[in-house]
Amino acid sequence: MQAHLFEWLNLSVRWIHMIVGIAWIGASFYFVWLENHLDRRNPREGLSGDLWAIHGGGIYHLEKYKLAPPSMPENLHWFKWEAYWTWMSGVALLCVVFYANPTLYLLAPGSSLSGAAGVAIGLGSLFVAWFVYDLLCDSPLGQRPGLLGLVLFVLVIAACFGFTQVFSGRGAYLHTGAVIGTIMVGNVFRIIMPAQRALVAAIAENRSPDPSLPAKGLLRSRHNNYFTLPVLFIMISNHFPSTYGSRYNWLILAGIGVLAVLVRHYFNTRQNSHKYAWTLPVAALGMVCLAYVTGPAPLPAADAGKIRYQPLPETALGGVRADQRPKVEAAPAATAAPAAGPAFAQVHGVIEQRCTVCHSANPTSPLFSTAPAGVMFDTAQQIQQQAPRIQAQAVASQIMPLGNITQMTQQERDLIGQWVSHGARVD
**Residue/partner pairs of 207-211 with CB below 8 Å, 24 or more apart:** 209/67, 209/68, 211/67
Dist CA 264 CA 329 (whole Å): 55
3-class SS of residue 390: helix
* pLDDT at site 316: 47
C-alpha–C-alpha distance, residues 424 and 392, integer Å: 14
Q: Are strands 58-65 and 47-55 parallel, antiparallel or unpaired?
A: antiparallel
Q: Print pLDDT tens along the chain (427 aa).
A: 567 788 788 889 999 999 999 999 998 888 888 888 899 988 888 899 999 999 988 999 999 988 778 788 888 888 899 999 999 999 999 999 899 889 888 998 878 899 999 999 999 999 999 999 999 999 999 889 899 999 999 999 999 999 999 999 999 999 999 999 999 999 999 999 998 888 888 888 888 777 778 788 888 998 999 999 999 999 999 888 888 888 899 999 999 999 999 999 998 888 777 888 999 999 999 999 998 888 776 666 656 556 665 655 554 444 444 444 444 444 444 444 445 678 888 889 899 888 988 898 888 877 777 787 788 888 988 898 888 888 888 888 788 887 787 888 888 888 898 998 888 888 7
- For residue 202, what pLDDT is reported? 85
User: Residue 340's pLDDT is what?
Assistant: 66
Measured between alpha carbons, how far is 346 from 335 in angstroms, rounded to an integer?
Answer: 9
Instruction: Give the model's pLDDT for residue 322.
Output: 41
Q: What is the pLDDT of residue 224?
A: 93
Tell me 307's DSSP state.
Answer: -
Quote the pLDDT of residue 176: 97
> What contacts 134, CB < 8 A, 6 or more positions away?
186, 190
Q: Tell me the Cα Rg of the chain.
A: 26
φ/ψ of 398, rounded to 5, equals 60, 35
Report which secondary-structure segment, H or E, holds 65. Answer: strand 58-65
State the pLDDT at residue 24.
92
Per-residue burial over 407-426, b = 16 or more CB atoms within 10 Å of its CB, e = otherwise: bbeeebbbbbbbbbbeebbb
Instruction: State the number of CA atoms in the 13 A half-sphere of 334 facing the CB.
Output: 0
The contacts of residue 169 (CB under 8 Å, 6+ apart) are: 241, 244, 245, 246, 249, 397, 399
